[in-house]
Structure 1
């Protein structure tokens, strides 16, 4: 079962980000209901392992991180792979990320060693044509300073992800409350 652990987002924020991403006519848009902040991508795991992780996460006592959205950017440099909204890292968010990764490792899940750069994916790209590069640059120039008032995430979720040609289908397997 393909899964991840992430922070859900307020609907007014995802609606606004969805509107921003609609400014592009290319790439695969992430539906507003799928937008989140990934804390740990678990990849494909047996249900038993996810059940063990659920037990670990159920015993967590963590402070709710304050989330601050500042700016739009791309991963991939000259060959953009995705457009995202940048989430400012902070101590509570990084600590939650580390605790979740430690819990995943404790039940035998091997995780990639990527640097944690919190973000909200808005669009994914394959290969951009010259006109599309210009359109993407224009969107970032016009909307790149996007920001959102700080908010606290009240919980984090374990989510099952089923890939399809259109957009991934997400099913929340469990939610874990965070202390204010």
Structure 2
């Protein structure tokens, strides 16, 4: 089962992100209900492994904290593949990320080693639909957008079913922070 652990976002943050998407006007927008901050992408995992991960995540406790979204960016350099809202790094977010990775390792899941760049994906760019300059211009016009500070009170384990119209996410479990 394709899965990931993420922070679900409250309605006011989704409202602000949706407003940014509306003004972005390029790429395929991520559905409002799919907006989230990924802590760990787990790829395809057997159900029993996810049950083991659930047992590892359930007792995890970290204090609630606030994240700040600031500005937009894109991944992919000269061949942009997605536009995102940047999440300002903070120690509490870093700690939660490390604890989730540790729980995944305890459950026998190997998570790809990548530098953690917290973000919320807003749009996916299909190859050949816009150059880096066009996307940079679109992002620059949105520098005035402000996002509300976002309280982080829980994280969730999601499954992801890929479909031609975009992925469908299912929340498998929710874990309240301390």
SS across alignment from 2:64: coil
1:147 aligns to 2:146 (yes or no): yes
The aligned runs of 1:65-104 (5 Å cut-off) are 65-104=65-104
The aligned runs of 1:115-154 (5 Å cut-off) are 115-129=115-129, 133=132, 135-154=134-153
The question of whether the paired residues in 2 share the 8 Å contact of 1:70 and 1:145 is answered with no
Distance 2:148 2:43 in 1: 32
* 1:17 equivalent in structure 2: 17
TM-score, L = length of structure 2: 0.93
The question of whether the paired residues in 1 share the 8 Å contact of 2:73 and 2:139 is answered with yes
Distance 1:158 1:39 in 2: 10
Distance 1:22 1:66 in 2: 25
SS across alignment from 1:149: coil
SS across alignment from 2:141: helix
More off after superposition, 59-68 vs 137-146: 137-146
Tell me how far 1:41 sits from its aligned partner.
Answer: 0.4
Tell me how far 1:155 sits from its aligned partner.
Answer: 0.3
CA RMSD of aligned residues (A): 1.6
How many residues are treated as equivalent by the alignment? 178
TM-score, L = length of structure 1: 0.92
The question of whether the paired residues in 2 share the 8 Å contact of 1:24 and 1:135 is answered with no
Structure 1: segments with no counterpart, 5+ residues:
none
Tell me how far 1:77 sits from its aligned partner.
Answer: 1.6
Structure 2: segments with no counterpart, 5+ residues:
none
Moved over 6 A (4+): none
The aligned runs of 1:1-12 (5 Å cut-off) are 1-12=1-12
